[in-house]
Amino acid sequence: MYTDEPQRIVTPMTALGVLVCPVCDRQMAAALVEEVEIDFCDPCGIWLDAGELGMLVSDAVVNPRASRGDTVSPGRFCPRCDRPLRLSTSRGTPVDVCGEGHGVWFDRGELERVFAALKVEKGGAA
């Protein structure tokens, strides 16, 4: 079947169910943060599955379901469904979201910038 969306050969999850980093295609590790299991690639960034962001921050920070019109993030694929990630913004910070609503990818440092912007919006110092 032909599609104009980018394709890749690497599968999104290993046979053991470990997610693959959308940037470097290495297996991601999991960590528990405030009782929420997040997936991360130490050199590249953090993947938050749908709902995990809301569990960490009560305010809606980013819409995890990107519209089909958003720009495709070149060479980046959802670790859950292997569809191309789409560029979006959260509090002025560019992020990559799964158009199917599976989650959000934050490059290294992006999640911290989003949290800092949210803190400023709430009247705190960055």
State the pLDDT at residue 96.
Answer: 92
Q: Is the pLDDT of residue 6 over 70?
A: no
End-to-end CA distance of the chain: give it in Å, rounded: 49
Q: Which pLDDT value is given to residue 92?
A: 78
| Alpha-carbon gap, residue 55 to 35, rounded angstroms | 9
In tens, the pLDDT along 47-64 reads 999 888 888 876 655 555
Structural domain boundaries of the chain?
Answer: 29-121
pLDDT grade, residue 16 (50/70/90)? low
**Which are the contacts of 104, defined by CB distance < 8 A and separation ≥ 6?**
47, 48, 53, 62, 64, 90, 95, 96, 97, 98
pTM to 2 decimal places:
0.77
Token code pair at residue 56: 């960490």
Please check the confidence at residue 46 and state whether its pLDDT lies above 60: yes
Task: Name every residue whose Cβ is closer than 8 Å to that of residue 123 and which is 6 or more positions away in sequence.
Answer: none
At residue 42 the predicted structure's pLDDT band, cuts being 50, 70 and 90, is: very high
Helices (H), the chain: 52-56, 110-121
Q: Are 74 and 86 in contact (CB under 8 A)?
A: no
